Amino acid sequence: MAQGVRTTLVAAAVLVAASSVGAVARGQALVDPMRPPVHAAAGEAGASSGPVLQQVYVSRSRRYAVIDGTRVSPGDRYGDARVVRISEAGVALQGDRGTTVLTMHPDVLKRARPVDKASRRMGKGEERK
């Protein structure tokens, strides 16, 4: 019984190794599942159209953002511009060419979801059925 299981495991290992060698031999690269999408990597590697907002931190006591690896707070200068506003939505920079608004996800449009009457009537401890 144990010999049969061992033989099956060895055969499975040989098949897996052979299939991966075959893919490499055919020129197919192995894909890293944690790698960012191609369009994101191309945008970072290519010529940037301007500064990139990487992080926003907003609390009751302080606000700061990270733009192209540089930490900035309201009133700080970033390049030729001054940071005039930091919010959850993004950062506003005021410069000679006007105001530039940087957002974390410029391709995402956030819209408020309408609240239905049933959810307004529910108390805090109640569950929706």
Which tens digit of pLDDT belongs to each residue from 9-68?
888 787 777 666 655 556 667 777 777 666 554 455 444 578 889 999 999 999 999 999
Percent of the chain predicted with pLDDT > 90: 36
Phi-psi region of 68 (alpha: psi -120 to 50; beta: other; left: phi over 0): left
CB atoms within 10 A of CB 65: 25
**pTM here?**
0.49
DSSP 21-42: HHHHHTTPPPPPTTSPPHHHHH
**How long is the chain?**
129
CA–CA dist 63, 69 (Å, integer): 16
